[in-house]
Amino acid sequence: MVQEFVASPERLIMAALLGMAVLLILIIAFKMQAVIAIVISAVVIGVSVGMPYPMITATIEKGIGSTLQGIALLVGLGSMFGAILEISGGAQRIALTMVNKFGENKAAWALGITGLVISMPVFFDAGIIILIPLAFSLAKRTKKSTLYYGIPLLAGLAVGHAFIPPTPGPVLVATMLNVDLGIVIAVGLITGTCAMIVAGPMFGKYIGNKIHVPVPKSVEETPDYDESKLPKFGTVVGIIFIPLVLILLNTVSGVVPALSGVAPFFKFVGTPFISLTISTLVAMLILGIKHGYTKEELEKIMTKSLAPTGMILLVTAGGGVLRWMLQDSGLGEMIGNMVTVSSLPLVVVAFIVAALVRISVGSATVAMTMAAGVMASMPEIANLSQIHLAAMVAAIAGGATIMSHFNDSGFWLVKSLFDIDEKTTLKSWTVMETLVGGVGFVIALTISLFA
């Protein structure tokens, strides 16, 4: 049996500061992989507060197990679903249809909405690679700066990636805070849409008119898409929205008396991994096999898509370890008491924690897992409503998005794709990311005040 212990507030504070310092030094100075750095910092915290060694190892195992059981299958299914959407041309179909419907004058809005929808099932980096040629094509045709169309697309991708399940980030935070995913989707759509409008079409128009960035020479002669070979718009959108609709039906059926008879069924199909499994199977059939891919080819494509999920899962597990170490050591309760005394709203604290980690470390995933861990360890969150907790999820997403700079891989990806210098990337991409996170936080805070 693991023995109990009680640490003084002073020792808890010193342990927290030491653990965070170790984490930042290992990642920033020694370029250590985030998962190893997180686990080491968690162990440092446990040892520093005087936790018995058996309790430290038990807490690490609990953190890994309890975190991955709610997220592992989702990450894998989402990756396979995104791969099918990519190879079938589904993402391009949505983008082209939206641009055609909106017209060239409002194409920036179409790209923002497209990015938001596509990034829910597709990883952020993959979404950029798939869709950026369309932004370049529009810029070439209209003679406008690539930022005019690229920034709205990037804003939409950033919003969908950070705020709206079934993207792994918000699902992880919602799981750690024990929030209904249907409510998280509803709040995420509100906060994310507002953030996309401000950081996308509005800021894109401003920065596009201020800084003219020509189409990169490497893509100047890229031919237009052959739309005849792409799947139908309604089909692609319908498949993408399967998990969102099923999750929302699960939430609605639990509170609407008229649906009480079918509530158990909707609760089953609305379970995130069940709903995502259904949408993946439908995508395999309609976007895969019926689109000309053999079962063998699909198997290879889906297997290859799982390659990048390992690091995501390990970093997520590391966040779970940190969360339980904070709670079992007593740090979470102490931080909660400090927040209560300071009278700062918990949503504000969540945003600040995520933002500090994001600015220091660069990784949005690490920022979200650490902030969720800190907040989940506070006893006070048990008294919050589901809407308030969903607003906290959005606040953490906002904090984990702001101020992308030199320590973020996304910064360098955008710089290279647009063929621009660091100064221009800071003025465009970094400001856009900060607007996404800042606006999302303001809307989340507003929602929490009325929850």
pLDDT in tens, 231-290: 888 898 898 888 888 888 888 887 777 777 888 898 898 887 888 899 899 999 998 898
- Say how many C-beta atoms besides its own lie within 10 A of residue 403's C-beta: 20
Please say if the pLDDT value at position 3 is more than 60: no
Cα 100 to Cα 121: distance, rounded to the nearest angstrom: 23
Which among 150, 245, 160 is positioned nearest to 195, based on CA atoms?
160
> What amino acid is encoded at 22 in this protein?
V
DSSP 379: G
Inform me whether the pLDDT recorded for 75 exceeds 60. yes
Whether the predicted pLDDT of 137 surpasses 60:
yes
Residue 335 has pLDDT above 80, yes or no: no
Instruction: Tell me if 292 is assigned to some domain.
Output: yes
Q: What is the pLDDT of residue 341?
A: 66
pLDDT given at position 81 = 84
CA gap 437, 399 in Å, rounded: 6
Q: Range of 340's domain? A: 73-451
Residue 142 has pLDDT above 90, yes or no: no
Q: Maximum distance among all alpha carbons in the chain?
A: 71
**For 58-74, what is the mean pLDDT?**
81
In a domain, 18, yes or no: no
pLDDT at 4 over 80: no
Note whether residue 253 is domain-resident: yes
Averaged confidence pLDDT in the chain: 85
Asked whether the CA dihedral 62, 66, 69, 75 is positive or negative, the reply is: negative
pLDDT above 70: percentage of residues in the chain: 93
User: Residue 143: left if φ>0, alpha if ψ -120 to 50, beta else—which one?
Assistant: left
Measured over the CA atoms of residue 329, residue 331, residue 336 and residue 338, the dihedral's sign is: positive
Residue 93, domain member (yes or no): yes
In this structure, is residue 15 part of a structural domain? Answer: no
Residue 1: pLDDT band (50, 70, 90) is very low
What are the structure tokens assigned to 182, written together?
Answer: 């249907």
Asked if pLDDT for residue 176 goes beyond 90, the answer is: no
Report residue 229 as tokens.
């070979």
Q: Work out the angle between the directed axes of helices 233-240 and 242-253 (0-180°, nearest 10).
A: 40
Q: Is 445 a domain residue? A: yes
pLDDT band at 23 (very low <50, low <70, confident <90, very high): confident
Domain-located, residue 265? yes
Backbone angles phi and psi of 179, in degrees to 5: -110, 140
The count of domains in the chain is 1
CA atoms of 132 and 139, how far apart (whole Å) = 11
Q: Where are the alpha helices (DSSP H) in 69-180?
A: 72-88, 90-102, 107-118, 124-142, 146-163, 168-177
- Is the pLDDT at 417 greater than 60? The verdict is yes
* Buried/exposed 169-181: b ≥16 CB within 10 Å, e otherwise: bbbbbbbbbebbb
Cβ atoms of 374 and 335 within 8 Å: the answer is: yes
Residue 23 CA to residue 20 CA, distance in Å, equals 5
Helix (H, G, I), strand (E, B) or coil at 261: helix
Region 76-105: mean pLDDT is 81
CB atoms within 10 A of CB 57: 14
Identify whether 37 is part of a domain. no
| Spatial CB neighbours of 213, under 8 Å, sequence gap ≥ 6 | 145, 146, 147, 418, 419, 420, 424
The pLDDT value given to residue 2: 45
Give the pLDDT band (50/70/90) at residue 332. low
Give the torsion sign (CA, 338, 380, 68, 128): negative
